[in-house]
Amino acid sequence: MIIKQLTFVALSLSLLSACALQAHESFAALLPDNSSEARAEIVAVVSNALAGKKIPITQDVFQQSSRLLLTTPPVTSPQGVKVYSKEIKPALVFELRKKAGTCLLKRLDTGQEWLLKTRSCFKR
């Protein structure tokens, strides 16, 4: 009888700890349409993450996908032909995440996260 009670207590504790862990998980997120303030904040965060480099980011960023991929554009020759380098650099990837009531921007290659002021993101 004692073994059953101990087993029940152990199971209960493990289930409770699993619930507590889920409360702190983050999930891929999207932005709603017309989220210009959130976009402006994201542009500023990405620029700061890249040492102040100005990066063109579309108006509908994070509305279709939770990831933003930044790559170097190919060079165009005087004849209009795109010239690609032999060395293909991997894209920098930023992901919009939802954690509890907050929105985070995460840089996947470094694991850095930035807490955003906007709260308008929603779980994908």
pLDDT in tens, the chain (124 residues): 566 664 554 555 555 554 444 557 899 999 999 889 999 999 999 999 999 999 899 999 999 999 999 988 878 889 988 887 777 788 999 999 999 999 999 999 999 999 999 999 999 8
Q: Helix (H, G, I), strand (E, B), or coil: what is residue 75?
A: strand
Contact 32, 122 (CB under 8 A): yes
Residue 39 Ramachandran class (φ > 0 left, ψ -120 to 50 alpha, else beta):
alpha
pTM attached to this predicted model = 0.74
Residue 91's nearest CA partner among 61, 112, 70 is 70
> Residue 78 corresponds to which tokens in the numbers above?
């005087």
